Structure 1
Amino acid sequence: MNLSPSLLSLAVFASLSVVPAVRADAPADAGTLDTVRVEAERAKKSKSRNQNVTVLSAADLDAEMANNMEEAIRYIPGVSIVDMGRFGDNGFNIRGLESDRVAITVDGLSLGESVETARSYEFFRGGRGDVDIDTLKSLQVIKGADSITAGSGALGGAVVFTTKDPADYLKAAGNDTHVGVKLGYSGANDETMGTLTFANRTGIAESMLVYTRREGHESESWYDSTVDRAGVGRRTPDPVDSTRDNLLAKLDLQLDPRNTLGFMLERGRARNEVDNLSRVYSPGYLERRGDDRNDRDRYGLRWQYRPENTLFDTLEAQLDHQVTDSRGLTTIVAGSGCPGGAVPCLRSEDRATEQTLDRAALDFTKVLDAAGVRHDIVYGLAWQQRDVDFTAVDTRWNAAGEIATVDQDPRQVPKTDARSWNLYLRDSVSLFDDRLVLSGGARYDRYDYSPTVDASFVDPTGSVRDVRFAAPSWQAGAEFRFLPDHALWLQAGRGFRAPSVADLYSPTSTTRAFDAVTGAAIVLDGMTSNPGLEAERSLNLEAGYRWTTDRAQLGLSLFRDRYSNFIEYVTQVQAVPNGFRTSPTSEVQYENRYSTPSNAGKVTVKGVELEGRWQMTDAWSSRIAASYSEGEKADGDPLESIVPASAVLGLRYAPSPAWNVTANVTRGWGKNASDAYTTAADGTREAPDWVGKADGYTVVDLVGSWNVTPQLRLSAGIYNLTDREYYLWQRVRGISEGTNTLYGYVNEEGIGRYSEPGRNARVTVAYSF
């Protein structure tokens, strides 16, 4: 990408005049950076000791009126959402690493794995699960390896969700009740939402219920949808009717001053009904509709024990059970290929995956403070079992509307039991009145995979088998405050990602051929699994400088992350002594090439990040955040998933606790073909078709809130204020140009449906008593 050399100098200059806004609930005389202190205290309580952590509280998410994860992280440069098109989101991209390479946990429990089938036909892509914004107490974005906190998948970083507790709504002591109602509307997808919150403390019992209902449509593009077409030239997104229900319930019993017993239930239901107009063409698909569902249920039991004895100050025992169901039902009215020959006819493709996760964990904390040296120690162990299952049923009707065939397709992955356990220990040592802080930790994981080969998952290659491997990881860091307001820090970490079930056990196949000399029939591999895969690993090195005063903060970090054992599908050549032919009489000989997942090579990512804040007066505050990364594969090709450089400048005016207004300016740089290409075997470079569309943008957002009374709060925002047409690289990089009706094929008009929404508004009303 082309990045102006003056970006860093501009960012440093701007940080002295622009920095994040103080919280809306800050006191009227807030003349210091309360948010900085709050986030610092929150980070200290986190198990993570990573120096590069962005924490968004529930108040931060409310202030931005975030309705989904993309809106929640929109002002965090270097972080984006992985887009699955029709099937929604599939995790996060941090510093160019994405999807399963970024760990996601909810209250310590991992979300599901990705499962994808025949992406070109867009019948099914199983996401990792969903978390509703209104249930979150905090959202932590950890940049850089920290597997000790988040476990497998924390290669380039992790996203850690913590859900709300009853005590978050109640007074510090005594019986109390809280009731809250929140209503909102978002113009970007015509979504209406409502959240009802109830919390109560009676005696030793604290209870909470948070229920959210969302009803909306597809996220708009920049173009008007009043007149549009079907097929690849459609420039507005396919119509979607979306509903989401989420329930979070908790009950905490304070048995005595040292013992707390907690129960929780979380139930999420998401459904998208899609009129897949962009895939309609004659005579193949006369109509095409999708009914996609993503459900997640979680049940948990937690015991907290605070004896403050020799071995530990606190113990937390946790049992969790989670079931994630994803389903994609595609119904097609076909104008060709119908049973019996008569047209039109109906067909359906029903794909589903179920992932069940059981986990038991023990976590301990201990503080030792003697002779001016303080140790903050965390350690623990956990066991979990993930069961992954997949089903596919194809149904065909004839032109008379009678069922002609019902076939169960082979599984995309075998039914697999994946068991694991881990141990971890981390110590943070404070010396010289906290001027020097040293931290170090290690973790050990063991994984056992047991696939089932049966009639629904046939393995003609014999490559599917049980596999077992271990994965050690570690992290170390130091922070030195050499002057009262100035500090330098260093950190290094080794992360890992265990292969997923889909990585290890992809569908296998063989092909029949004939020996070129003898003419004898032979069986050759077409696609194989690879249970011999090794865990992907990362070595993350980072250094930074931090300047902090009561009214200002400036942080600068440089990082270099090296990844090894990257898992990719590669083409192998199978040795055949005499070559082979496609038929006994064929004159042409071929090499047998087959596809298999492999630990393909190494990737290096490096970059710079900057964040600054300044409380200019009691009423005016400002912020900057900027990020630049570049990545390179072992063969010298760039890592295409790197998101172009971006910067956010914000200015906030809050003359009193009653009201405030914030303007945020986001600048995104473009992606050039020189930063996104693959070198072919003949040495030519192939760039994604629409790399030129991600040509950079500047977007202005204006948001504000008014506390009408202590109980009633109004918030409103206008996004993309200047109505700019722009495209995000992470959304267009997998799109191909052409007239083919497979996924992602568009023409010059059709690319418009991947543009971002034009000017749009949001409003929320919250009332509590």
Structure 2
Amino acid sequence: MKRPPCVLAMAIASCIAVPALAITPAESDAPQTLDTIAVRAMRDKQRSANQNVVQMDAAQLQQEQAESMEDIVRYVPGVSIADMGRFGENGFNIRGIEGDRVAMTIDGLSMAEGLETARSYEFFRAGRGGVDVDSLKRVEIIKGADSISAGSGALGGAVVFTTKDPYDYLKPQGNDTHLGFKAGYTGYNDQALGSVSLANRTGLVESMLIYTRRQGHQADGWYDTTAVRTGSARRTPDPIDHDSTNVLSKIDVVLGDAHRLGVVYERNRVENLVENLSRVSAPGYIERWGDDHNDRDRYGLRYLWTAHGAAFDTLELQADRQDTESRGTTRIVTGSGMSSTPATANSSRCTLAATCWRAEDRDTEQTLDRVALDLDKQLQSGIAQHRLAYGAAWQRRQVDFSAIDYRWNNVGALDTATVDPSQVPSTDADNWNLFLRDRIGLDQDRLQLTLGARYDHYRYSPRLDASFVDPTGTVRQVSFSAPTWQAGISYAFLPEHTVWFQAGRGFRAPTTGEMYAPTSTAELTVVGTGQTVSVPTLAANPDLDAEKSLNLELGWRWETPKVLLGVSVFRDRYDDFIDTLATTVDAGTQYRSCSRGACTVRNGYSVTSTVNVGQAIIKGVELEGLWRLDERWLLRGAWTHNHGELDDGTPLNAINPDRGVLGLSWQGLDDRVRITGNLSHSLAKKRSDVAVADDVFGSTPEPFLSDAYTVFDLFGSYRINARVRLNAGVYNLFDTRYSQWARIRNVTRGDFYLYGYATDEGIGRYSEPGRNLRMTVYVTF
């Protein structure tokens, strides 16, 4: 049987890229039991049938010294991190689609959905939940729609995380114990890290515990000095104290050759204490601090049955609960205005001589309960070999939000504590789905077909209470369904040449924030009658549809034992994009509104709501190549070009400039030393590819654009002995000054502190780190 191209590529790369002291059992020469092989075949299988999948295992992540989500995609063209500013990473950008439009799963469980208050104020933005790199044994980055495996959000791609298992550290059979230590330092954010891994097999029980702690600071920019300490002209990043811990524990009970029962617990805690110096400008803000927490807890049960029966070969049943909480507290010392809207006799004016404190507390909690059944079956039908995967799942996501504003007067006494209206009502979002996928091999697998279908049903059940009042009457229970499909074909028309084509329909269900944004009304007077009426100004949209995508991709691969070369072209169409728009209602009637003694008359009134809008098209081409020069040298490269715009010709700002990576790796004959040099190059972002919107003052400032850049990284590993390995690297070796479009595209040019502006000098705080070092030591017993 011909090995799939992506597997061959990884096999070649592993000859060089795998660290010298691996801690996975795949490197062991000991015989494996049938049960161990069956377990790995089920748990370690590639989840996606997509042709364009980038896979990275724990060994590759260690070799590249990846310590964050941004590190994971450093050498993956066409993929970047969606930057959240003060709040850190917020998911992935794949081919110009980002945020909740890119699905993220961990062991099959969806990550939290995004939620934010006013973006320009940067008071709160909920993270999707933290994942620590040290807990992962594999990451799959899926380019193109694949809702069948990744579910809602996989419009243009998905990122699938798979965590480590006890058997990743143990011998294939018999009692065994593993103890591992990792200590490291990353220079660009002054991060010290430590990790301990324990694993044991005693009789029928396999267990594992991984504990990781990280302490660091803000990511450096290229500049290390600034002429202006505060405000939008600050050239260095705002100071941040970063602290994170991650615990992953698993216990498996092997009940026999056919049955395995497992328990998993995962705990992730991330805290960032931010001194927002770039937002400080007297007399408005004298001090501004952000204290942000992102917590995630996961509990789960797994049951695996290796039956090789008529209906299925393996059955996996899992039940999980995941709690995700994001808390953002913004503390401000202000020197202007009142401590609050005067509510008590203690209310007093704030001045530079008599300052006042404010605090904005924002909190969202999401609980996800999920039960999933996955089965697979291989069977022969005439000349066709079928590899079936099918199953069903049910899940309920509970979303809640709270906000409290505190005001202290200028003598330090608490003036008011106001419970703000909730950003969303408490909501239960129920979903169930069914899926079936068949990979069909014909002509000894020279011709391979993939056919798949999935059906999802959603129901949103909001609960109105004192913290979320809906005067418009537009918030109510909503249900909708979303069918999706996937089809693909590949044909090896020559022994070393394969052409392939795939098509897929993706979808994204609306988030709770999109379904039920805050609602409000206003009192207006009908000019013709003098009648006072209450009209909606912010309204929910119960008729919202799921976003949809149609992804088409055509590719060719030339594959030999030493060379892999591939090219693919794609066209992705996105329909029913969800956006927030203001529309004019009843334009034939004149309405009068009065505020602070001034009155205005307009035709109709404006209602802001989330709606399905327009269509977007993204096209592109991707190149990949591997060349095993000999047993010691490996050359690899990749390049991607994307172009996207709305149906009216407006460019999509989330599209990153063309980017490529060229890497050369070498390993010693005794396999003790491995060295890799990676050259990354990006083109500049053109002004013609950027759509500029008016800022909050109604002006249209010129956007900041990223220049072309070339960065060289040099890293490697040295196996000191059988138990100790040292990894080290110099990143941005030639100290190149550059900025990435993904970071600067949301920055507004101007000299104003409140809305996240930056001057031509201040944009320097968004630059990437200059030359920086990393070092990691691994010890195993």
With the shorter chain as reference, the TM-score category is over 0.9
Which residue in 2 is equivalent to 1:722? Answer: 734
The residue correspondences of 1:574-589 to structure 2 (distance < 5 A) are 574-575=585-586, 577-583=588-594, 586=599, 588-589=601-602
Aligned-residue CA RMSD in angstroms?
Answer: 2.0
TM superposition shift of 1:742: 2.3
Deviation at 1:740, TM superposition (A): 1.9
User: What whole-Å deviation, never above 9, does each CA across 1:458-492 have from its counterpart, x for those lacking one?
Assistant: 11211111100000000000110111111000100
Which one-letter code corresponds to 2:152 in the other structure?
A: S
Structure 2 counterpart SS, 1:119: coil
Alignment partner of 1:75 is 2:75: yes
Q: CA deviation at 1:518?
A: 2.7
Distance 2:736 2:457 in 1: 50
Does the alignment pair 1:668 with 2:679? no
Q: Secondary structure at the match of 1:283?
A: coil
Given the superposition, is the C-alpha separation of residues 687 and 166 from structure 1 closer, same or farther in structure 2, using an over 3 Å criterion?
farther
Contact kept? 2:279, 2:756, Cα under 8 Å: no
**CA shift for structure 1 position 66:** 0.5
More deviation, 80-89/732-741: 732-741
1:85, distance to aligned residue in structure 2 (A): 0.4
1:45 to partner: Cα distance: 2.7
Aligned pairs (5 A) from 1:136-535: 136-225=136-225, 228-337=228-337, 338=339, 339-342=347-350, 343-535=354-546
Point out 4+ residue stretches in structure 1 off by more than 6 angstroms.
41-44, 685-688
Q: Report the Cα offset of residue 228 of structure 1.
A: 4.9
Q: Partner of 1:7 in structure 2? A: none
Q: 1:628 is matched with which residue: 637, 641, 647?
A: 641
Cα distance change, pair 54–688 in 1 and its aligned pair in 2 (3 A): farther
How far, CA to CA, are the matches of 2:115 and 2:622 in structure 1?
A: 33
Alpha carbons 1:230, 1:280 under 8 Å: kept: yes
Q: 1:515–1:581: 8 Å Cα contact kept in structure 2? A: yes
Counterpart secondary structure, 2:763: helix
Deviation of residue 99 (structure 1)? 0.5
Counterpart position of 2:552: 541
Q: Hey, what's the Cα distance between the residues in 1 that align with 2:278 and 2:761?
A: 12
Letter in structure 2 aligned against 1:281: S
**Bigger Cα displacement from structure 2, 246-255 vs 572-581:** 572-581
In 2, distance between residues paired with 1:595 and 1:455? 23
Partner residue in 2 for 1:658: 672
Give the AA of the match of 1:759. Answer: R
Structure 2 unpaired stretches of 5+: 1-8, 22-26, 28-40, 340-346
Alignment of structure 1 residues 613-624 onto 2, 5 Å: 613-624=626-637
Asked if the contact 1:688–1:735 (Cα under 8 Å) also holds between the matched residues in 2, the reply is no
The amino acid across from 2:523 in the alignment is R
1:525 deviates by: 2.3
Distance 1:580 1:264, change over 3 A: same
Residue aligned with 1:97, SS? coil
**Contact 1:419/1:449 (8 A) holds in 2:** yes
Q: For the residues of structure 2 that align with 1:654 and 1:588, how far apart are their CA atoms?
A: 76
- AA in 2 matched with 1:341: R
CA deviation profile, 1:58-114 (whole Å, cap 9, x unmatched):
001000100100011110000000000000111000011000000000000000000
SS at the partner of 2:668?
Answer: strand
**Following superposition of structure 1 onto structure 2, how do residues 51-66 of structure 1 map, counting pairs within 5 Å?**
51-66=51-66
Give the conservation status (yes or no) of the 8 Å contact 1:21–1:652: no
Listed one character per residue, the Cα deviations across residues 248-283 of structure 1 (whole Å, up to 9, x for unaligned) are 000000011100000000001110111111111111
Q: Which residue of 2 aligns with 1:600?
A: 613
DSSP-derived class of the 2:255 partner: strand
CA shift, 1:372, in A, is 3.8
Instruction: Tell me what 1:5 maps to.
Output: none
Taking a change above 3 Å as real, the CA distance of residues 138 and 23 of structure 1, as seen in their structure-2 partners, is farther
Question: Does the CA-based 8 Å contact 2:564-2:626 persist in structure 1?
Answer: yes
Larger relative contact order (Cα-Cα within 8 Å, sequence gap ≥ 6):
1
Give, as a single letter, the amino acid of the residue that structure 2 aligns with 1:78. Answer: G
1:547, 1:553 within 8 Å by CA — same for their partners in 2?
Answer: yes
Relative to structure 1, the CA distance from residue 471 to residue 336 in structure 2 (aligned partners, 3 Å threshold; closer, same or farther) is: same
Query: Residues 601 and 79 of structure 1: is their aligned pair in 2 closer, same or farther, counting only changes over 3 Å?
Result: same
What is the CA–CA distance in structure 2 between the aligned matches of 1:201 and 1:669, rounded to whole Å? 51
Question: 2:701, 2:750 within 8 Å by CA — same for their partners in 1?
Answer: no
What one-letter code is carried by the residue in structure 2 that aligns with 1:634?
D
- Superposition deviation, residue 550 in structure 1: 0.7
CA distance 1:226–1:282, shift in 2 (3 Å): closer
With normalisation by structure 1, the TM-score equals 0.93
**Residue 10 of structure 1 aligns with which residue?**
none
Secondary structure of 1:167's match?
A: helix
Say if 2:19 and 2:62, in contact at 8 Å, map to a contact too: no
**Quick one: structure 1 residues 624 and 333, their matched pair in 2 at CA, closer, same or farther if it must change by over 3 Å?**
same
Q: Tell me the TM-score normalized by structure 2.
A: 0.92
**Structure 1 residues 489-530: Cα deviation after superposition (integer angstroms, max 9, x where no partner):** 010000100000011111112222222223322223222111
CA distance in 1, matches of 2:657, 2:378: 43
- Residue aligning to 1:755: 767
SS in 1 for 2:120: helix
Between 454-463 and 482-491, the greater mean CA deviation after superposition: 454-463
Residue type at the aligned position of 1:74: R
Residues 140, 161 of structure 1: 8 Å contact kept: yes
Task: Please name the residue that 2:86 is paired with.
Answer: 86
**Are the counterparts in 2 of residues 514 and 522 from structure 1 also a CA contact under 8 Å?**
yes
Cα distance in 2, alignment partners of residues 641 and 62 from structure 1: 30
Cα distance in 2 for partners of 1:252, 1:149 equals 25
Equivalent residue, structure 2, for 1:50: 50
* Residue matched to 1:37: none
What is the alpha-carbon distance in structure 1 between the residues aligned to residue 306 and residue 573 of structure 2? 41
8 A Cα contact 2:589 2:604, kept in partner: no
Q: Confirm or deny: 8 A CA contact 1:570 1:600 kept in the other structure.
A: no
